[in-house]
Amino acid sequence: ELLAPRRLLYALCARRGLYCLSLDHPGRSRSTSRDDRDSEDGDQPSPVIPVDPDACILPDAALCAFTVLDSVLVTLVQGPARWKMQLFEQPCPGEDPRPGGQIGEVELSTYTPPAGVPGKPAAPHFLPVLCCVSPSGSRVPCDLLGGPGGFTLEDALFGLLFGADATLLQSPVVLCGLPDGQLCCVILKALVTSRSAPGDPNALVKILHHLEEPVIFIGALKTEPQAAEAAENFLPDEDVHSDCLVALGHHGRMLAIKASWDESGKLVPELREYCLPGPVLCAACGGGGRVYHSTPSDLCVVDLSRGSTLLGPEQPEEGPGGLPPMLYPASLNICSVVSLSASPRTHEGGTKLLALSAKGRLMTCSLDLDSEIPGPARMTTESAGRKIKELLSGIGNISERVSFLKKAVDQRNKALTSLNEAMNVSCALLSSGTGPRPISCTTSTTWSRLQTQDVLMATCVLQNSSSFSLDQGWTLCIQVLTSSCALDLDSACSAITYTIPVDQLGPGARREVTLPLGPGENGGLDLPVTVSCTLFYSLREVVGGALAPSDSEDPFLDECPSDVLPEQEGVCLPLSRHTVDMLQCLRFPGLAPPHTRAPSPLGPTRDPVATFLETCREPGSQPAGPASLRAEFLPPSVASIKVSAELLRAALKDGHSGVPLCCATLQWLLAENAAVDVVRARALSSIQGVAPDGADVHLIVREVAMTDLCPAGPIQAVEIQVESSSLADICRAHHAVVGRMQTMVTEQAAQGSSAPDLRVQYLRQIHANHETLLREVQTLRDRLCTEDEASSCATAQRLLQVYRQLRHPSLILL
């Protein structure tokens, strides 16, 4: 607030207190005339006034509002449970601006502090409003009533509002609007007198009204046309007597109080409430009975004067001294004004508003009060119908645009939700380490008969054990990689990828996918087969669909630039890698009971002519064909591997306690085969099965003793032997057994087990023999590429013998 006669500026700082600054320039006399000051200020730039800690004249962190009179400083303090009004004596001009002793104090209504630190009152969301009112007969000039909150009321309204005591004492009255909606008043002279002669504190405070919402503004204005016109012609220094008191709440409720005559001719206060657009940020009273109030979206003006052009065309007129029954706010097309001040009438005519926006912009707005503000005019039926059609058309266009924009917002919200879920799923999978994964994919194999051919089927089960949901954008990718290149160096590996959209896989749900692994078109099954499962999240599908919607009929959506779309197609999250080998694909038709024995599995699709000739041969004769001839005249191929019995017992101790070691080893080798339960139930140590191509494969597990390796004595070992008439099946089965042994040895080596003392020279001799055989293999392979068909037969026979020696090593896994 500005105390103009003393050129002092009072400023209240949050949680600090009240500061006082002198606006006089250094070296300038206080008696300088107004015209001289105006001319000097016009030639010189606005001064910068430093503020030091000594400028704080009333330090108080609980101080929430104040108003300044020439001789009295009124403050409002937030107490623990109630508001407290305090009066301080102002020093004389020229003295230290710090206030003197306290000359009055009174408590107002109960205050309910918001939730905060116990014992410490929290700052209220809305601050109280203070202003000073004096009667028209008071000797206190208008410019001594303080800042913009001080005004003078006509004696009739002043007496009706504040009573005979205030009128007789000719005392200024402090009006207080509280955040709870109460509008109360305190007579200053009665409050000062009560300090020397204490009385009832409740009698000092009078509640005028309750707005039921936080009070934002208290002001006064002229409403009578003649009085308003005369008020506009007053000079700025002249005193103006207002005939209407207004109070405005945060949500738009406005109270107007005016002295009026009732039917019996008695003078009574007329109170009328209006509903204005809200929420109200600030307000100000201007000339001509106008009230300006700001909302976040507009700055509006209402007119309380009689005969206003802002009244509706059918507005009935009230009797003398009455208030209009309704108000019609007129927009000034200015938004987000947080502070407002209305200056007196200028020489050119009109009113000037000084406004501060929420972004810190200081604006002036000049209004021409002489021109009539156009109100709603009478309309004909035809023009009204046309206007209604235009309005309906505009509403339809806006509704259509809103629907398009809402659709776009929904798509982007959905995309953001999906991206958030994808981020959570990625973090959960990448941070799981070696423990159980929140989202897993397990693979199992089984044989199924399709028409006249047996087909190996893989079943992949996607299990969601996390708390997240896999929705739009997620795809399960299953890659099947055959290993024909492992057996034929000249062939290229082939891979098939299956993509299965994952839709609405919530927490705890599972999805099962079955796909064929073989045989292929050539009738063979290339083993081993690797099945890799990966989750793929498509960024292009989710983000691209939200930023660049495919609906081309949306005229209100801007096309998304291409550089905004993600560069990567998506995110890959590996789930599992499963290898299907010969041990999993073996079938054992001889294990089934006689009454439930299934027909022997079919091999690759046979030639119909060969099938016809086989059915026509005589009973008891031997079948013809390469497989039967090989089985009859060639000895079966054999491969073996020896493992320390101690190593196997340590690896199989958890699930095979009490089972003979040979039986436990066979069960461990066939753990992923469908016949493992029958093998376990019969406690078998050897078994004969059928490979996918129809050839027999014999697995034999027996205990042996290795006598030449350890000087301390023989080493107990287990020999795993594979026999088959098919060299390719021997290779595949041997590869599967070696792979399981590698995994077991790696796991046991991590536990730090030590090997026994060995004969190093004997091991070196075995190693040298193996190196010699490998060099001979390379020489024979090179010779096969250069020899003719007649001489290559002996070379191939020798190569086969060397391979058999290599598959019977004299070494043992320890």
Question: What percent of the chain has a predicted confidence (pLDDT) above 90?
Answer: 32
Token output for 414: 């959905």
| Separation of alpha carbons 695 and 600, rounded Å | 12
Cβ–Cβ under 8 Å, residues 175 and 218: yes
Q: What is the pLDDT confidence band of residue 517, given thresholds at 50, 70 and 90?
A: confident
Dihedral sign of CA atoms 762, 768, 772, 773 in order: positive
Query: What Cα–Cα distance (Å) separates residue 299 from each residue in 126, 218, 302, 576?
Result: 20, 18, 10, 65
Contact indicator for 469, 531 with CB cutoff of 8 Å: no
The residues near 19 (Cβ < 8 Å, ≥ 6 apart) are 10, 11, 12, 13, 51, 55, 56, 57
Mean pLDDT of 309-314: 46
CA angle, 408 then 410 then 414, to 5°: 120
- Confidence at 271, pLDDT banded by 50, 70, 90: very high
CA distance 186 to 203: 9
SS3 for 106-147, per residue?
EEEEECCCCCCCCCCCCCCCCCCEEEEEEECCCCCCHHHCCC
| % residues pLDDT > 70 (the chain) | 77
Q: How is the beta sheet containing 63-68 ordered, strand by strand? A: 63-68, 72-78, 82-89, 102-110
Beta strands, E only, 23-101: 56-59, 63-68, 72-78, 82-89
Sheet strands side by side (includes 495-501): 495-501, 474-482, 529-538, 570-580
The predicted pLDDT at position 27 comes to 42
* CA pair distance 454, 575, nearest whole angstrom: 29
- The pLDDT value recorded for residue 478 is 94
Question: What pLDDT shows up at residue 44?
Answer: 59
Asked if pLDDT for residue 236 goes beyond 50, the answer is no
* DSSP E strand stretches across 281-326: 282-285, 290-294, 299-303
What letter represents residue 187's amino acid? Answer: I
Counted residue by residue, the chain has a size of: 814
**pTM to 2 decimal places:** 0.51
Burial of 787 (0-12, 13-18, 19+ CB in 10 A): middle
Distance between CA atoms of 707 and 368, rounded to whole angstroms? 119
Helices (H), 460-580: 484-487, 539, 545-547
Q: By the 8 A CB rule, do 288 and 305 touch?
A: yes
Lowest mean pLDDT among 313-327, 348-362, 788-802: 313-327
- Dist. CA 714–CA 133, nearest whole Å: 117
Average pLDDT of span 267-290:
91
From the list 810, 638, 648, the residue with the least C-alpha distance to 716 is 648
Going by pLDDT thresholds of 50, 70 and 90, the confidence category of residue 114 is low
Question: Looking at 585-669, which runs of residues are DSSP E strands?
Answer: 637-644
Give the pLDDT score at 100.
Answer: 81
Give residue-wise pLDDT tens across range 377-403: 556 788 888 889 889 998 998 999 899
Angle between helices 188-196 and 155-169 (to 10 degrees): 20
Exposure of 122 by Cβ count < 10 A (0-12 exposed, 13-18 middle, 19+ buried)? exposed
Candidate from 97-101, 719-723, 772-776 with smallest mean pLDDT:
97-101
From residue 282, alpha-carbon distances to 250, 278, 296, 300 in Å are 9, 10, 10, 11
Q: Per mean pLDDT, which range of 117-121, 612-616, 758-762 is the poorest?
A: 117-121
The string of pLDDT tens digits covering residues 399-443 is 998 998 898 888 888 888 888 888 988 998 888 777 788 999 999
Rounded to a whole number of angstroms, the CA Rg of the chain reads 50
User: Quick one: pLDDT at residue 30?
Assistant: 38
| Amino acid 309: pLDDT | 46
Give the number of C-alpha atoms closer than 13 A to the C-alpha of residue 466, restricted to the C-beta side: 19
Name the one residue in this structure whose structure tokens are 């081309």: 552
Q: Is the pLDDT of residue 719 over 50?
A: yes
Q: Is the pLDDT of residue 299 over 60?
A: yes
The Cβ-side half-sphere exposure at 796, using a 13 Å CA radius, reads: 10
Rounded Cα distance, 370 and 348, in Å:
10
With tokens 């086969």, the residue in question is: 800
Identify the pLDDT of residue 724. Answer: 92
Please tell me what DSSP assigns to residue 556.
Answer: T
Assign 631 a pLDDT band (cuts: 50, 70, 90): low
End-to-end CA distance of the chain: 95
User: According to the model, what pLDDT value does residue 2 have?
Assistant: 86
How many Cα neighbours within 13 Å face the side chain of 483? 16
CA dist., res. 734 & res. 732, Å (int): 5
φ/ψ of residue 657, rounded to 5: -70, 140
Is pLDDT of 317 > 60?
Answer: no
User: H-helix or E-strand containing 259?
Assistant: strand 253-261
Nearest to 671 by CA among 622, 737, 749: 737
> Tokens at residue 434, please?
């070696």
Task: Tell me which DSSP letter residue 675 carries.
Answer: T
Predicted pLDDT at 272: 93
Residues 615, 618, 624, 627: is their CA dihedral positive or negative?
positive
Tokens standing for 258?
């005016």
Summarize pLDDT for 51-97 with one digit per residue, the tens: 888 899 999 999 999 999 878 899 999 888 888 999 998 888 777 78
Asked whether the predicted pLDDT for residue 563 surpasses 80, the reply is no
Residue of 532, 533, 516 lying closest to 457 (CA atoms): 516
Confidence band for 617, pLDDT divided at 50, 70 and 90: low
Is 149 or 701 the better-scoring residue by pLDDT?
701
pLDDT at 549: 56
Q: Round to whole Å and give the CA distance between 647 and 526.
A: 32
CB-based contacts of 607: which residues, under 8 Å, 6+ apart? none
Q: What is the model's pLDDT at position 637?
A: 86
Q: Is the pLDDT of residue 736 over 90?
A: yes
* Selected residue with higher pLDDT from 351 and 580: 580
Q: Which residues contact 450 (CB under 8 A, 6 or more apart)?
A: none
Contact 82, 61 (CB under 8 A): no
Residue in 528, 535, 532 with CA at minimum distance from that of residue 500? 535
Inter-CA distances, 402 with 16, 313, 406, 407, 756, Å: 48, 34, 6, 8, 82
* Mean predicted confidence (pLDDT) in 266-273: 91
Give the mean pLDDT of the chain. 80
Looking at residues 466-485, what average pLDDT do you find?
A: 85
In this prediction, residues 473-493 reach a mean pLDDT of 71
User: How far apart (Å, rounded) are the C-alpha atoms in residues 442 and 476?
Assistant: 13
- Tell me what pLDDT residue 591 has: 80
pLDDT grade for 688, boundaries at 50, 70 and 90: very high
- ∠ CA 22-26-32, rounded to 5°: 80
Q: Does residue 373 surpass a pLDDT of 80? A: no
| Residue with the larger pLDDT of the pair 40 and 179 | 179
Phi/psi of residue 735, nearest 5 degrees: -60, -40
49 phi, psi to nearest 5 deg: -105, 115
Domains and CATH numbers, the chain: 415-485+494-547+567-580 (2.60.40), 633-768+789-807 (no CATH)
Q: What is the mean pLDDT of residues 681-688?
A: 91
Q: How far apart are CA 194 and CA 171, in angstroms?
A: 14
